Amino acid sequence: MRHPHLAAIDAAAWPGLAEVPAGRLIDLRARLAEASFARACANADLTLDPSGEPDLVVEHDALFARLAVSGWLGLAEGYMAGEWRSDHLTDVLAALIRTGYRPRVGIPGKVASPGRYSGGELPTELVRLSSGEGFSAFGGVFASGVPTTVRTAVPSHVPGHSRGRGLATHFVDLTTFSEPVDVDREDLGDAQTRTVTMLLDAARVTGGTHLLEYPGAGGAVAIAAAHRRATVDTLTADPAQARAVTEQLMLAGVDASVHTAVIDRPVPGPRDWRGSYDAIVSVEKLEVLDEDDRVAYIRALDRLLTIGGFVSMQSVIATDALSPVARGALDALRAYVWPGLDYPTATDVHRLTDRESGLRVVAQTHTGSHHQRSLAMQRSLFEGQSREAAAAGFDAVFRRLWSYQFALREALFRLGMLDTVQFTLTHRNRRGRR
């Protein structure tokens, strides 16, 4: 059933939003969903009364039909369709997740969107609208954060390396940054540049280093490495991003030091890309890959890294606090943005590395509180350039989706359910590969 408030939505672009689920059973379930949502808001101390200062406002009852069919995904779709709104979106999502809101999905058969960026990277224009320095979608590290490092023993998951009844261990340099203080939106560009600097430092990138950047991160890593007089290959599965990055490299005057290549699939196999690199930098790729591609990904890093070289890999990870409710809330991001999204734990990263490659994690740096602040600033930048986003072809539905995904991820960082870690990897056997 097409409702008047959905008339402006492009049904071809947004088939899951253009119509509201309908039917006698759905109507019944929708009334139950409405009551459940009201109780959840009350439990979370969220005000819905539009006559006062509400935390959120429900504009159309169609929201409850979506909740009945799709749960948390329906909540996101209702926001994308303009059926509810909030001036405190991150606060609302954090409160609902914290208090355990689990909408009961009673109608099977909902078909989700396949996600928009399963093979390609985020469009450079979209990144620019929410970036502090114009290139980067990843979180920054602010200057006010203070690092503290300890060396700690962690279990090794290498088959056949157990000793007695327990696992063997190895040592990892564990660094944690304190929360940033006195930062505002103007600091984001510097913070994102600092992230790049830390990644290059961890990979020991200096003059003469042969560096692989995979996947391409919009040009920031390649440009900074070229300024260190490194030779850089950057890989992407997205031809549009390759063209945009090539243009950025030319403007920066480093195109002679950087080669941008397009590969046929998101994770390069032995036939897709060959080479031997002193250093590899990879930013926020692992968490958007499915299980099979994660194995191929870590094996590719192993294969392409020369003995004695280092990989610097930044990933958003799940903490032990990540709840089933939060995982349900992430359905919207899997449906509409990254279909393979599944945040691993730090232990998962160690286990994957040990079991599927000859690499080992030797250091990890935690910067989650900085990423949380970055997301708030990225959302503010994006929403402040709504007209520019519309002119670039991002319709109102997409703009609401993009604000929602920033707010949801920020909420999960705020609740301590997500963290950001820079892992440093090198080969276990310095004399030869496994």
In a domain, 110, yes or no: no
Q: Quote the number of domains for the chain.
A: 2
Closest to 67 (Cα-Cα) out of 59, 76, 56: 76
Q: What are the backbone dihedrals phi and psi of residue 86, each rounded to the nearest 5 degrees, phi first?
A: -160, 140
Residues 50 and 92 in one domain: yes
Residue 34 pLDDT:
96
| Dist CA 69 CA 110 (whole Å) | 7
- Residues of the domain holding 253: 124-427
Residues 57 and 129 in one domain: no
Residues 254 and 340 in one domain: yes
In a domain, 175, yes or no: yes
Q: What are the backbone dihedrals phi and psi of residue 248, each rounded to the nearest 5 degrees, phi first?
A: -65, -40
Residues 67 and 169 in one domain: no
In a domain, 322, yes or no: yes
In a domain, 404, yes or no: yes
| Dist CA 351 CA 158 (whole Å) | 8
As given in the structure block, the two tokens for residue 323 are 């709840």
In a domain, 226, yes or no: yes
Residue 109 pLDDT:
44
DSSP 324-356: HHHHHHTHHHHHHT-TT--PPPHHHHHHHHHHH
Contact 23, 65 (CB under 8 A): no
CA distances from 113 to 5, 158, 223 (A): 21, 38, 35
| Domain harbouring 203, CATH code | 3.40.50.150
Cβ–Cβ contacts within 10 Å for residue 58, how many? Answer: 19
Residues 158 and 19 in one domain: no
Residue 116 pLDDT:
65
| Dist CA 427 CA 302 (whole Å) | 8
Residues 6 or more apart in contact with residue 6 via CB below 8 angstroms: 17, 18, 19, 20, 62, 81
Task: Output DSSP code: residue 234.
Answer: E
DSSP 265-329: SSS--TTT----EEEEEEES-GGGS-HHHHHHHHHHHHHHEEEEEEEEEEEEEE-TT--HHHHHH
| Dist CA 86 CA 16 (whole Å) | 22
Residues 163 and 67 in one domain: no
Single out the residue in 98, 115, 146 at which a domain terminates: 98
Residues 87 and 137 in one domain: no
Please report, in tens digits, the pLDDT of each residue of the chain (434 residues total): 578 899 999 999 999 899 998 888 899 999 999 999 999 999 999 999 888 889 999 999 999 999 999 999 999 999 999 999 999 999 999 999 999 999 977 554 444 555 566 545 788 889 999 999 888 899 999 999 999 999 999 988 887 665 555 668 889 999 999 999 999 999 999 999 999 999 999 999 999 999 999 988 889 999 999 999 999 999 998 888 889 889 989 999 998 999 999 988 888 888 889 999 999 999 999 999 988 899 999 999 999 999 999 999 999 999 999 999 999 999 999 999 999 899 999 999 999 999 999 999 999 999 999 999 999 999 999 999 999 999 999 999 999 999 999 999 999 999 999 999 999 999 997 654 43
* CA 300 distance to own-chain centroid: 21
Residues 178 and 258 in one domain: yes
CB-based burial, 206-238: b 16+ in 10 Å, e otherwise: eeebbbbbbbbbbbbbbbbbbebebbbbbbbbb
Order of all β-strands in the sheet with 147-155: 147-155, 169-177, 359-366, 418-427, 305-318, 277-283, 210-213, 231-236, 258-262
Residues 156 and 274 in one domain: yes
In a domain, 103, yes or no: no
Neighbouring-strand partners of residue 235: 261
In a domain, 109, yes or no: no
Single out the residue in 83, 98, 113 at which a domain terminates: 98
| Dist CA 314 CA 367 (whole Å) | 10
In a domain, 113, yes or no: no
Residues 34 and 134 in one domain: no
Count how many Cα atoms sit within 13 Å of the Cα of residue 383 in the half-sphere of its side chain.
17
Residues 78 and 197 in one domain: no
Residue 433 pLDDT:
44
Single out the residue in 48, 81, 98 at which a domain terminates: 98
SS3 362: strand
Residues 93 and 168 in one domain: no
| Dist CA 404 CA 384 (whole Å) | 15
